[in-house]
Structure 1
Amino acid sequence: MNPAKRSRRFRAWLALGLTALLAALLALQQRGAEPPPESFAGLGEQAEGYTQARPGASLRFPEDHGTHPDYRIEWWYLTANLVDGNGTPLGIQWTLFRQALAPPGDNDPERADSPWTSRQLWMAHAALSTPDDHFVAERFARGMTLPDRRGQAGVITEPFAAWLDHWRLESRVTDPAGDALDRLLVRAQGRDDGHDFGYRLALSAEGPLVLHGEAGFSQKSADGQGSFYYSQPFYRVEGQVEIDGETREVSGRAWLDREWSSQLLGPTQRGWDWFSLHLAGGAKLMAFRLRGGGEEGGDYVSGSWIDPDGRQTPLADDDLRLTPVTHSSVAGRQVPTRWRLRLPSQELDVTVSARHVDRWMDTAFPYWEGDVVVKGSHSGVGYLEMTGY
């Protein structure tokens, strides 16, 4: 087949696949009761037929590094604060999302042997930030059951690997007694607004996994809505980033989040503001504000203080104060890009500021995601994610 014909066939298949994906996303949003208009990405939609996240369950490893198809949504979410050889700050994001199209019992028995019986959608985001630019790419795939080969996207636990096309997060651990996430290799390449970008990074954990909330159950509303949530926040990073053919050696810190749920938000929660901070001295702070869903209609605030040795202290609304200080106009929205965070129990009173306000992720479900600087009683760096604006 000549190259031109092969290219046309590829574009035709790509258009067909994207059309099917968009139809599936619309069907997901329209399934059952219509989700409340304020619910970000439909995450407040009722989830009948799926397993619900509840307190009291025990997380298990390495099993929980893998997929949970009985739950509607989950993700493998990596952010890194890096510097190059000239001391220039850079940030990267690598995320793989799994979304079920239907509860596990809804599969068509007449198509049980078909590779299309999978009801899983996969979406991946890759981003690279410099002081002046923010590059973003997005990919989609549908899960498929293929004999003797891996599908276009998926996650396996032994050896651990998560991927969509050539975007990969995979374990480099060879000791069977070690945790698969202790050493990882992550890579992605994309193109945004005429610019090529990519990265290849080696991650080595210098501390343990951290279970958030109550032994890994992270409550998200006063009504008890929640998710299973753990992190590996102790990565040291070495590797390369590439922008338009120029390669830079980089180093820094990274944070991996693992979360799964069937109804992450309450029906009135519009979105969230989420922080992951690496503080000087080795402590870490994870904090989030869910807009709505708190007592008497207020916001719901929670988080974790993580000592340098990995000991976690759950934080509740009366422990933690998250206050927007400065709003910026981003993508036609007013987004809080400078915050004051207070945690009296740790004598923490800091300002968290975006390095650059224009970190908008113009993806299928748009949101703000970018690297931040911490100043005040403590110093540090980290990442901020804001949805629903």
Structure 2
Amino acid sequence: MNAKLLVIFLLWSLPAFGQGFAGLGASGEGFAQPQRGTLFTFPKDHAAHPEFRIEWWYLTANLQDAQGRDYGVQWTLFRTALAPTTGAGWSDPQLWMGHAAVTTSQTHRSAERLARGGIGQAGVSGAPFEAFIDDWQMAGPDLSDLSVRANAPDFSYDLKLKSEGPLVFHGDQGYSQKSDRGQASYYYAQPGYCVDGVLIIDGEETDVHGQAWLDREWSSQPLAPDQLGWDWFSLHLEDGRKLMVFRLRHDGGGHYLSGSLISQDGQVTTLNHETIVMTPLQNTPAPSRWSLRLPDHGIDLKVTALNPDSWMDTFVRYWEGPVRAEGTHDARGYLEMTGY
């Protein structure tokens, strides 16, 4: 890790940690703000938006090998801006951070990369699509056909993804509100990938197949200052529908809930606090067992982590891992918990 780069991350991030998870509740003054009614333009909006303060390209995959053993894979590229501009070389104010992980029922392995914009070490382009940091890469002609790879000392993966449905737009046509005070992001997803590829764990190569979900989100103040973090689920239901729900936790209670129930043909039903019931089934920090109910839609699930100890050993620590659900439906998916 470049020592100068680590100092830059420390100087920028540490004063903000009290303002929501990892400073995401800090003021976005001077940066562009999401506006309701904005139309997305593709492939341009698959690329970076440096005028906004924070952005991510976030892939999770639920995989199995020939023996039916379960695996989870994460690949994420984050962009954070010190100022709403770009520049050449080290004067570029864009900071990049990559996270990769592989989870089994027994182990959770994670790795991290840091980069500074303007020196060719990381970036995203829309057509053809490429998101990369060092030799980690997510790339293809567009988001419907991707190759994803990452490596670390004790694991690596090389996956091929083919979409089986359209992009979906969360919230109000991609304008995703995050609090009653008006914090919001632009948020769309490709939740319907079919995956084939190879995992290598401690030198042992395994062929895998399964499903993947890609989230795209950008904003300048995605959390209110009193929001401590979030609990986020993405689930592939056995009947072909997809479900995304999140809970943004407020200091003192009164959490903000939102989500999307996605039909097989990509139609989105927007969910809110009146239609989502999320209840942790443990009193421990970052609970790995949950009750998730949508009474209006006949969905009542008990969700359990494949590996309860799926902490990301990264600069900003959080919980991220694959989950299974049982109840009115069987499902597989991912859970992310921050701010604990």
Note whether the superposition's TM-score is higher than 0.5. yes
1:271 is paired with a residue whose SS is: strand
- 1:327/1:337 contact within 8 Å kept: no
Q: Structure 1 residue 361 and structure 2 residue 335: aligned?
A: no
For 1:123-162, list aligned pairs within 5 A: 123-144=97-118, 151-162=120-131
For the aligned residue pairs, the C-alpha RMSD in angstroms reads 1.5
Runs of 4+, deviation exceeding 6 Å: none
CA distance in 2, matches of 1:225, 1:81: 31
CA distance in 2, matches of 1:26, 1:164: 19
1:183-237 CA-partner distances (Å, limit 9, x unpaired): 100001112xxxx211100000000000000010100001110100000000000
Q: Structure 1 residue 189 and structure 2 residue 154: aligned?
A: no
1:3-60 CA-partner distances (Å, limit 9, x unpaired): xxxxxxxxxxx5xx32x22332233237xxx547251100000011100112121111
1:299-336 CA-partner distances (Å, limit 9, x unpaired): 000000000111001111101111111244xxxxx221
Q: Structure 1 residue 349 and structure 2 residue 300: aligned?
A: yes
1:147-176 CA-partner distances (Å, limit 9, x unpaired): xxxx111011121100001100001x3xxx
For 1:1-389, list aligned pairs within 5 A: 14=1, 17-18=2-3, 20-29=4-13, 35=16, 37=18, 39-104=20-85, 114-144=88-118, 151-171=120-140, 173=141, 180-191=142-153, 196-292=154-250, 298-328=254-284, 334-389=285-340
Q: Which has the higher contact order (CA 8 A, sep 6+)?
A: 2
CA distance in 1, matches of 2:128, 2:50: 19
CA distance in 2, matches of 1:29, 1:133: 29
Identity %: 53
CA distance in 2, matches of 1:287, 1:169: 25
CA distance in 1, matches of 2:75, 2:158: 11
CA distance in 1, matches of 2:170, 2:286: 27
Residues 236 and 36 of structure 1, relative CA distance in 2, 3 Å threshold: closer
CA distance in 2, matches of 1:24, 1:53: 27
1:345 is paired with a residue whose SS is: helix
- 2:16/2:22 contact within 8 Å kept: no
Using structure 2 for the length normalisation, give the TM-score: 0.97
Residues 21 and 81 of structure 1, relative CA distance in 2, 3 Å threshold: same
- 2:98/2:113 contact within 8 Å kept: yes
Residues 126 and 36 of structure 1, relative CA distance in 2, 3 Å threshold: closer
1:335 is paired with a residue whose SS is: coil
CA distance in 1, matches of 2:79, 2:321: 22
1:51 is paired with a residue whose SS is: coil
- 1:24/1:101 contact within 8 Å kept: no
CA distance in 1, matches of 2:17, 2:104: 36
- 2:19/2:26 contact within 8 Å kept: no
Amino acid at match of 2:329: H
Counterpart of 1:7 in structure 2 is none
2:222 is paired with a residue whose SS is: coil
Larger Rg: 1
- 2:302/2:325 contact within 8 Å kept: yes
Using structure 1 for the length normalisation, give the TM-score: 0.85
CA distance in 2, matches of 1:361, 1:237: 23
CA distance in 2, matches of 1:59, 1:103: 20
- 1:327/1:338 contact within 8 Å kept: no
Amino acid at match of 1:244: D
Task: Note the residue ranges of structure 1 that are not aligned, 5 or more in a row.
Answer: 1-13, 146-150, 174-179, 329-333
Residues 89 and 216 of structure 1, relative CA distance in 2, 3 Å threshold: same
CA distance in 1, matches of 2:254, 2:331: 29
CA distance in 1, matches of 2:184, 2:250: 14
Shift of 1:116: 2.0
Aligned pair count?
340
CA distance in 2, matches of 1:131, 1:298: 34
Task: Note the residue ranges of structure 2 that are not aligned, 5 or more in a row.
Answer: none
- 2:196/2:209 contact within 8 Å kept: yes
